[in-house]
Structure 1
């Protein structure tokens, strides 16, 4: 599906008082991340965490990427739009695609917009932090987390993704994934713990202060047989009055490459950790 064929979702507006409260909260959060001055104004007015606003940042420039950018330390993209070209010039579902960015253990990627084509987005080889990163049209996956240490922590704070025909975040490695103040729309799955990787691990997923806008299939998918856990808090679901989007789906994963089997969905207190009060439909 090409970028101009992607479905678009219109989100309903909210009252002035609610928007103001979110904006003040976001300013505080961005300041804590070192985004001040004009960056705060741009991110606050154009890209708050709540999908109810439907606002995205405006790119400050455009940069074609023909070879994967390797990041160690901190890479600040200045809200430029990065898009693949040449060998990275695909937005399909080919599993062999290379990423636009690859982050080494402990790296930070911030203030980046991934345009079209986005190839395989971002790969984290160990613990990593994605701050204010936006995917305008997800290619294969938006980000893949591949660390092998159970102490690995992958943090996604702010930003958003849309136009993902399948997964947004692919969790292949070990450790914990924490997604906060994120928005997603027109997607298949927001987070999926790998169901058939050759090497499997128990994985922990925490989603907090997240806005989800239909159409979508599921928010998180986990492998109950490997001890995965998924905690959902403050998740707002937009445009899904019939509640077709499944918040948490349980699978029996494998390491043989076979398609994993779905075994259930909904809160169970063990694998899918949330209650009805942790979700709201707007």
Structure 2
């Protein structure tokens, strides 16, 4: 259980999330939205998310962040693809605003290959 983020990515680089289960959380992964203009990437494989309050992943579109969902993704939610990934616009210290939800060039996944239950 986590009220907000489980994994917060503040620096440069890439994160792999493989074989992970999360339940009753805000976001499994969050690319920092107030840490400046830094590109980050994340790949998810064999991930189960039960009852995400926001989404499995939130990335910053204006920084060029990319989240790639590869194989075996399961989400227990009534929000459908909106609960898989969302993008925000990063800021310099202010709370970022959501710019999109669901598949996009920054949130790479096929909603037909994700198991919703």
Q: What is the TM-score normalised by the length of structure 2?
A: 0.91
For structure 1, the residue ranges without an aligned partner over 5 or more in a row are: 1-162
| Contact kept in structure 1, 2:55 and 2:86, CA below 8 Å | yes
- For 2:89, the equivalent position in structure 1 comes to 252
Could you tell me how far 1:237 is from its partner in structure 2?
A: 1.4
Answer yes or no: is 1:275 the counterpart of 2:110: yes
Structure 1 or 2: more helix by fraction = 1
Answer yes or no: is 1:177 the counterpart of 2:15: yes
- For 2:24, the equivalent position in structure 1 comes to 186
The CA RMSD over aligned residues, in Å, is 1.4
Answer yes or no: is 1:231 the counterpart of 2:71: no
Post-superposition CA distance 1:145-199 (Å, at most 9, x none): xxxxxxxxxxxxxxxxxx10000000100000000010000100110000011x4
Matches within 5 A, 1:10-21: none
Structure 1 or 2: more strand by fraction = 2
Could you tell me how far 1:200 is from its partner in structure 2?
A: 3.1
For structure 2, the residue ranges without an aligned partner over 5 or more in a row are: none
Q: 1:259 to 1:274 in 2, by over 3 A?
A: same
Q: Which has the higher contact order (CA 8 A, sep 6+)?
A: 2
Q: Which runs of 4+ in 1 moved over 3 A?
A: none
**Number of matched pairs:** 115
Counterpart Cα distance in 1 of 2:96 and 2:53: 20
